[in-house]
A and B are shown apart, each in its own frame.
Chain A
Amino acid sequence: MMVRIDNLSKRFFSLRGEVAALRGLSLDIHDKEFFVLLGPSGCGKSTLLNLIAGLDSPTGGQIWFDDAVMADADRGVCLSPRKRNVAMVFQSYALYPHLSVFDNIAFPLSIAGMRKDEIAEAVREATDMLELADLLAAKPAELSGGQRQRVAIARALVRKPSVFLLDEPLSNLDAQLRASMRTELKSLQRRLGITTIYVTHDQVEAMSLGDRVAVLHDGRLEQTGSPQELYHRPANAFVGTFIGSPPMNLFEASWREADGRPHVEIMNMRLEIPLHLGQRLRALKGASFLLGMRPENIHAHFSTSSPLGLMATVRSAERLGRETLLHLARGEHRLTALTSAGDFTEGAEISVEFDWDHAHFLARSER
């Protein structure tokens, strides 16, 4: 099932006045795709998912499943969830506390009026897939978090939905369980080939799960692309800093050409940059922009004279296991660098070197 979202907007009218949760969002989600909606808290991810499920109606724009319209604000069309054949998994699992595991999973089928023996067969298939067969008689209150999440997933999948929606399904689990559920979920989705839309604010989750990821910010779409694209070619400063951990350094920068060679000026220093980057800088128009450098592309050396002459002081060294994250200061400017040499001490003067091949020249965002 293909999902097309066209210029969708949603405004809430509440006691604190009008809230625009989505502002003209357009997305195309392909058939059988694992699509991730990523964004900080409050950016409208859950709102979008609720609109797709039919739990809420948009105030503008349209939603299409293949070529059937699900919601169209202009024509006042909005199909109820039961007509959309979507399934949803919630952050709090939302299992029915009064029903056993079996009855929870059977619930959507029994609402649909399926025969008893068919229900039993479908539930068995789903519970085998999610290894829940031993727990059928238990009540949700007796289950661990991971088991509850499996039940919620089984309940969603038992109906063979055409679109599978997940709203931060793993955020209540501990780190280890989260990692193993992630792989399991991904392989399950591959096997069943159901179009999946997955909401998260965790970029690691988004990068490891998504075929494609859409980054949302303040009700707008910032960028859509494969995890690699988002990481290596962020479209703007927001995506650049939001994706990647530890986050990218951003420098206010301007550029000019002197002696036919491109230079950038950051932190009150003029640095010569490789010739071929001049092209990309010219494309930016305007002399001032943001320079993005990931910490792993900033190299720290002990030598007191760097070819590029960029010196900095170590403020603190944060050991992350294999690598060390250096928090550096240069005047009032701050930057971070990732290094595998572990013996930098606080207060030491070091030289840093930028790996220009991985520099990101980002337009200042209009907002």
Chain B
Amino acid sequence: MMASFCLFPWLYMLLVSLNDRPDFLGTQGSIGLSGGHYLAVLTERSLHFLDYLRNSAIVALSSAALGTVIAALAAFAVTRLDLPGKAAVLFFVLAASMFPQISLTGYLFRLMTRLGWINTYQGLLFPYVAWTLPLSLWLLVSCFSQIPKELDKAALVDGCTSWQVLWRVLLPVARPGIFAAFLLSFIAAFNEFLFALMLTTDHGARTVPVGIALFQGLHGEMPWGDIMAASIVATAPIAAIVALFQRHIVAGLTGGAVKG
């Protein structure tokens, strides 16, 4: 019941994208199936859909990677080192993540204009890292703090330096959590709309969600078939990733599973 309710829009998308008639909305008659819209989306250069897809992939992958590395190092520092005021850092990060996105847009736009980073990958990369960091940091802090301290002690006695403890013991043991953090920030960055809309101007850096939304602008009328086909192509990888790694994400989110 729940599942069919959730899946209905997607099914509708699928149907529309496969329809070959422009007046698909009156669907009493026969529904002609065709891959025409997919072909158009994937081949027509003027739509730039493949550019958008590439941009999205690059920006989302690199921001997820960078964000996860930073979050892992920060989580190590917070859980393992003797730092003054580390609880304050965590709460500050949490508070910062509560800021509504819209309140940052004006400032971000001016910053990026100044830097000349409008419509570049790095112009999206850094806001995305900052935006996904609180979530991955909290995730990894909870993951690291569940690894027993005796494991660090054992590694130190076995001759490790602090870096080796992190690299050879903590990171491998925390792998499910790190993986979950990476996937969640990848998905968040891949789906992000507002920053991408504001900070990109054309297919040089524009990401898929914005690109699809702007299909209409390019052609005057609403090319629903193309929009739906593009949406399917763009969501398919995410859906596949989630389906494939669901177990890992859940395991990472719920922690545990690290007891020796």
Contacts and interface: CB of A to CB of B under 8 A. Distances in A.
Physical interaction between A and B: yes
Given A97-B260, A98-B172, A140-B260, A92 B150 contact: yes
Interface size on B, as a range, is 20 to 34
Interface in B189-212: none
Contact of A94 (B148, B164, B175): B148
Contacts of A335: none
B260 A96 contact: yes
A112 B155 CA distance: 12
B259 interface: yes
B190 to A, nearest CB: 29
B161 A96 contact: no
By DSSP majority rule, is chain B's interface helix, strand, loop, or mixed?
helix
A98 B173 contact: yes
A53 B154 CA distance: 10
A90 B150 contact: yes
B184 interface: no
Interface string B138-157: 00000000001011011111
Contacts, number: 71
Interface string A100-141: 000000011001100000000000000000000000000011
A97 B258 contact: yes
A87 B157 contact: yes
A201 interface: no
Contacts of A159: 158-159
B260 A88 contact: no
A93 interface: yes
A91 B153 CA distance: 12
B169 interface: yes
A96 B169 contact: yes
Interface string B170-188: 0011010000000000000
Contacts of A80: 156
A111 B157 contact: no
B260 A141 contact: yes
B173 to A, nearest CB: 5
Contact of B157 (A88, A91, A95): A88
A97 B259 contact: yes
B160 interface: yes
A111 B150 contact: no
Interface in A47-103: 50, 53-55, 80-82, 86-88, 90-98
B260 A93 contact: yes
A106 B259 CA distance: 20
Given A107-B158, A108-B158, A55 B153 contact: yes
Most interface-central of A53, A108, A112 (chain B CB within 10 A) = A108
B159 A108 contact: yes
A155 interface: yes
A97 B151 CA distance: 9
A68 B169 CA distance: 30
Nearest to A158: B158
Contacts of A91: 150
B31 to A, nearest CB: 52
A94 B159 contact: no
Contacts of B148: 92, 94
A55 B155 CA distance: 11
B159 A88 contact: no
B152 to A, nearest CB: 9
Given A90-B153, A94-B153, A98-B172, A82 B161 contact: yes
B157 A92 contact: no
B156 A81 contact: yes
Interface string B248-260: 0000000000111
B155 to A, nearest CB: 8
Nearest to A90: B150
A217 interface: no
A212 interface: no
B160 A50 contact: no
A81 B156 CA distance: 6
B250 to A, nearest CB: 18
B162 to A, nearest CB: 9
A289 B75 CA distance: 57
B178 to A, nearest CB: 12
B157 A96 contact: no
A148 interface: yes
A140 B260 CA distance: 6
A112 B153 contact: no
Interface in A198-233: none
Interface string B233-258: 00000000000000000000000001
Nearest to B150: A94
Contact of A112 (B156, B159, B172): B159
**Which 6 residue pairs across A and B have the least CB separation, nearest first?**
A108-B158, A94-B154, A94-B150, A82-B159, A95-B260, A111-B159
Interface of A: 50, 53-55, 80-82, 86-88, 90-98, 107-108, 111-112, 140-141, 148, 155, 159, 165
22 contacts: A53-B153, A81-B157, A82-B156, A82-B161, A87-B158, A88-B154, A88-B157, A90-B150, A90-B154, A92-B150, A94-B151, A94-B260, A95-B260, A96-B173, A97-B259, A107-B155, A107-B168, A108-B158, A140-B260, A155-B158, A159-B159, A165-B157
Given A50-B153, A94-B153, 17 more contacts: A55-B156, A80-B156, A81-B157, A87-B158, A90-B154, A91-B150, A92-B260, A96-B173, A97-B173, A97-B259, A98-B172, A98-B175, A112-B159, A141-B259, A141-B260, A155-B158, A159-B159
